[in-house]
Amino acid sequence: MCGIVGYIGHRDAYPIVIKGLQRLEYRGYDSAGIALYDGASVNLCKTKGKVEDLKKKAKSEISLSGNLGIGHTRWATHGVPNDVNSHPHYSNSGDLVIIHNGIIENYESIKKELIKRGYTFESDTDTEVLVNLIEEVKLKENVMLGQAVQIALNEVVGAYAIAVFDKKKPDEIVVAKLGSPLAIGIGDNEFFIASDASPFIEFTNNAIYLEDEEMAIIRLGKEIKLRKIKNDAVAYPNILELQMNIEEIEKGGFDHFMLKEIYEQPRAILDTYRGRLLAKQGIVKMAGIDQHLDKFLNANRIIIVACGTSWHAGLVAEYIFENLARIPVEVEYASEFRYRNPIITENDVVIAISQSGETADTLAAIKLAKENGAFVFGVCNVVGSSIARETHAGAYTHAGPEIGVASTKAFTTQITVLTLLALKLAKEKELFTDSQFHEYLTELETIPSKVEKALESNPLIEIIADVYKDSTNCLYLGRGYNFPVALEGALKLKEISYIHAEGYPAAEMKHGPIALIDEHMPVFVIATNKGHYEKVVSNIQEIKSRKGKIIAIVTEGDVQVKELADHCIEIPETFESLTPLLTTIPLQLLSYHIAVMRNCNVDQPRNLAKSVTVE
C-alpha cells in the first residue's frame, strides 16, 4: 500500500508530485509528505491527513520551487499515522531523503545495530531505519548512493518500492523494487517515478516497470541504469508504450470515482469481450489461453485464488465453470491457501484473480502453486502488474483504471472474462451445439445495453437508499449464481458506509440469521426469475412473516415478489448464468447512495487501501 511519486527534470517538481499523489491516494491516505530540492537545500513538509492537507501546509511552510521532488501518501503499517511517521524521511546527516512503499520486516534488529553505532530515530517507522542503513553503508564503504542502496537492500527482509536521493548529488534519484510496484516514466531528459503510471500519463507514454529485485539509477543527462539487487547483473530496460489516457483517470463530471466506475460498466464489459467474442462466427478468441488449452482441458480441477471482491468473482466463476464447462472448481481465499499446506498437483490449473495485480496474498498463493507444478493463469486489470507478470499466462479485463477503493467495474469485467474462458472450454469439450453456443454469445453481447438499462433505476435506488441509510445491520440473500452477488452487495455496503452487513445463501437463512429478523432489519434479496425463483419467494415469505423489510432485485415484469416486497428494483431478463452482471448493479448503487447520505468518504473509505501489498 502507500503511493510514491518522484520527478527529476526541467519542470517544477511540486505540481507534478502533488497531482501524482492525489491520483495515488487510492493506495493510502492517512498521511502525506513531500520533499523538494530547490538548488541549494531540501524543503520537506509532511502531515497526518490527506494530500489536500499537505497542500495547505506546504504552501504556508516551505518553498515550493525545485526541479527534483519526491512525495508519499501513506497507509500506516509501522507507527500510527502522524506527522512524524509520515514520509519522506531524512537520514541522520540530513543528506539522504527517502520514500518507501512496503514493509522492512527485520527493521528492529537493524535499528538496534544502528543505535549502537550512534544513530537516532525520530519516527517509529521501518523506513527511517532503511534510510539510515543506506547512509551507514555509504559512509562506511565510501561508495556512491546507488551502491549503498544495493548493499543495504541485500541486508533487509521484506517488501519495498523506494526512491531516495542525496542532496549532495541532486542530479540523481535511486529507485528499487521488491514486492511493491514501481514505474519509471521517461520523458525528454526528465524522469517520473510512481507506484503506477497515472501520475505521469499526461507527460509521457513511455514507461519501465521495474521487476522484483531490480533497482535503477536515474541521472539527468544519462541513460537509466538498471541492475539486479542480488547479483549486480546489468538489467536491460523494457520500455513499454502505455495505452492509458488522462480522461480515464479523472472523474469526468461524476461526484466520485466510484459512481463514474459504476456507470462505466457497459463500456468496460464491452472492452472486456471486444475482439474476443465473435458471435457471428461462433468463436471465443483469447490469445492468452490458446496455446495452453490442453492444460485446462486435462485439468483435474481449477483452483481459484483471490481476495475480497475478486474472490466473489471467483465464486461466481465456480458456478459458471462447473455448469458450462463441467470442470470441478475450488475457490480459495489466497491468504488461507498460501498458509495451509494445500494439496496442489501438476494437473491442477490455478486461476488468480486480482484487479490491481499487486495483492500480496494472491501473489504468494501463485508462487506456491508454481512451486508445486501447477499451471497458473492470471485475470488482472492492471497491465504489467506483478501478478500479470508472475503467472504463466492470463487475460486482462481491460476495465480501465479503477480508482475508487470499492471495486465495481473490476467485479463485472472479471466475471465477463471468466465467462468467456468457460465458454471457450465448453466449446472445446463439445458441451454446446453450435446454435446453443451462438445463442449464448449473442446474449452475452446484449449485456452492456442491459447494464445501461439496470443503471436507469438509479433515481429509484436513491429513494430506497434514503429509507435505509440509518440502518445498523443489513442482510443480503441470493441463491446459486447470485449467492456471491449477495456477498459482494454486503461487502460494498460495509466498506463504504460502515453499516454492518452479511451476505448469505438464501436457504441458509433459516439455519441462524433468521433470528436477527425484525422490523428494523432490511433484507436485500436477489430474486430473479430463473434459478430457484419459487424457493427464493418462500424465503421472502419467511422474512415477511417476521416483519423484516424486503428490498428485492427482480426481473422486469415480475409479479409475485412485487406483492411481497417493500421495494423492488428491476433488471432486464437474461440467462441465469449472466444475471450476476446485472443484479450487482443496483447493489453497487445502493451502497454508493447510502454512503453519500451518511457523509462517508466514498472513494477513500477509512482503514482501506486499493492495493493491498502487505499480508
Shortest Cβ distance from residue 219 to ligand F6R (Å)?
34
Residue type, 472: T
Which residues, other chains included, contact 239 with Cβ-Cβ below 8 Å and sequence gap of 6+? 186, 206, 207, 208
Q: Which stretch binds ligand F6R (CB under 6 A): 116-124, 159-167, 208-216, 353-361?
A: 353-361
Q: How is residue 246 annotated by DSSP?
A: G
Nearer to ligand F6R, 218 or 307 (CB): 307
How many degrees, rounded to 5, is the angle at CA 204 between CA 200 and CA 210? Answer: 70
Binding ligand F6R (rule: CB under 6 A), the pick from 101, 127, 355, 419 is 355
Nearer to ligand F6R, 335 or 574 (CB): 335
Query: What x-and-dash track marks residues 514-543 binding ligand F6R by CB under 6 A?
Result: ------------------------------
Q: Which stretch binds ligand F6R (CB under 6 A): 78-86, 103-111, 231-239, 349-357?
A: 349-357
Query: What x-and-dash track marks residues 286-315 binding ligand F6R by CB under 6 A?
Result: ---------------------xxxx-----
| Residue 424 and residue 397 in contact, taking contact as beta carbons nearer than 8 Å | no
The helix (run of H) or strand (run of E) holding residue 523 is strand 522-527
Binding ligand F6R (rule: CB under 6 A), the pick from 73, 407, 497, 584 is 407
Shortest Cβ distance from residue 381 to ligand F6R (Å)?
8
Query: What x-and-dash track marks residues 232-261 binding ligand F6R by CB under 6 A?
Result: ------------------------------
48 catalytic? Reply is: no
Which residues, other chains included, contact 549 with Cβ-Cβ below 8 Å and sequence gap of 6+? 468, 519, 521, 522, 523, 566
| 240 torsion bin: left (phi>0), alpha (psi -120 to 50), beta (else) | beta
Nearer to ligand F6R, 47 or 310 (CB): 310
Q: How far apart are CA 367 and CA 396, in angstroms?
A: 19
Distance, CA of 202 to chain centre: 22
- Does 495 interact with ligand F6R (rule: CB under 6 A)? yes
Nearer to ligand F6R, 101 or 356 (CB): 356
Q: Which stretch binds ligand F6R (CB under 6 A): 20-28, 182-190, 348-356, 499-507?
A: 348-356
Task: Record the cell numbers describing residue 527, joined without a space.
Answer: 430474486
Number of residue whose CB is nearest ligand F6R: 308
Cβ count near 414 (within 10 Å): 29
380 catalytic? Reply is: no
Query: What x-and-dash track marks residues 360-399 binding ligand F6R by CB under 6 A?
Result: --x-------------------------------------
Q: Is 330 exposed, middle or buried (0-12, 13-18, 19+ CB in 10 A)?
A: middle
Task: Record the cell numbers describing residue 546, joined without a space.
Answer: 417476521
Count of residues that interact with ligand F6R, criterion CB under 6 A: 14
Shortest Cβ distance from residue 308 to ligand F6R (Å)?
2
Catalytic-role residue among 2, 307, 568, 600: 2
Shortest Cβ distance from residue 407 to ligand F6R (Å)?
4
Binding positions for ligand F6R, 584-613, rule CB under 6 A: 612
Nearer to ligand F6R, 153 or 587 (CB): 587
Nearer to ligand F6R, 24 or 110 (CB): 24
| Reduced 3-state DSSP string for 439-473 | HHHHHHHHHHHHHHHHHCCHHHHHHHHHHHCCCCE
Binding ligand F6R (rule: CB under 6 A), the pick from 198, 356, 386, 419 is 356
For the chain, the farthest-separated pair of C-alpha atoms sits apart, in whole angstroms, at 81
Pairing of the two strands 301-306 and 348-354: parallel
- Does 359 interact with ligand F6R (rule: CB under 6 A)? yes
Binding ligand F6R (rule: CB under 6 A), the pick from 354, 397, 577, 588 is 354
Q: Which stretch binds ligand F6R (CB under 6 A): 3-11, 352-360, 523-531, 578-586?
A: 352-360
| Omega within 30 of 0 (cis) for the link into 401 | no
Could you give the 3-state DSSP secondary structure of residue 175? Answer: strand
Shortest Cβ distance from residue 347 to ligand F6R (Å)?
26
Phi, psi of 45 (to 5 degrees): -140, 135
Q: Is the dihedral of CA 310, 306, 530, 439 positive or negative?
A: positive
Shortest Cβ distance from residue 233 to ligand F6R (Å)?
31
Nearer to ligand F6R, 308 or 448 (CB): 308
Residue type, 468: Y
Binding positions for ligand F6R, 410-449, rule CB under 6 A: none
- Does 17 interact with ligand F6R (rule: CB under 6 A)? no
Nearer to ligand F6R, 194 or 406 (CB): 406
Shortest Cβ distance from residue 496 to ligand F6R (Å)?
8
| Residue 273 and residue 334 in contact, taking contact as beta carbons nearer than 8 Å | no
Q: How far apart are CA 467 and CA 172, in angstroms?
A: 57
Residue type, 97: V
- Does 265 interact with ligand F6R (rule: CB under 6 A)? no
> What distance, in Å, lies between the first and last C-alpha atoms of the chain?
10
Shortest Cβ distance from residue 532 to ligand F6R (Å)?
27
Nearer to ligand F6R, 91 or 354 (CB): 354
| Residue 379 and residue 354 in contact, taking contact as beta carbons nearer than 8 Å | yes
> Cell 461466481 appears where?
316
Residue type, 177: K
Task: Record the cell numbers describing residue 352, joined without a space.
Answer: 488468480
Give the interface with ligand F6R as residue ranges (CB under 6 A): 307-310, 354-356, 359, 362, 406-407, 491, 495, 612
Cite the active site residues.
Answer: 2, 610
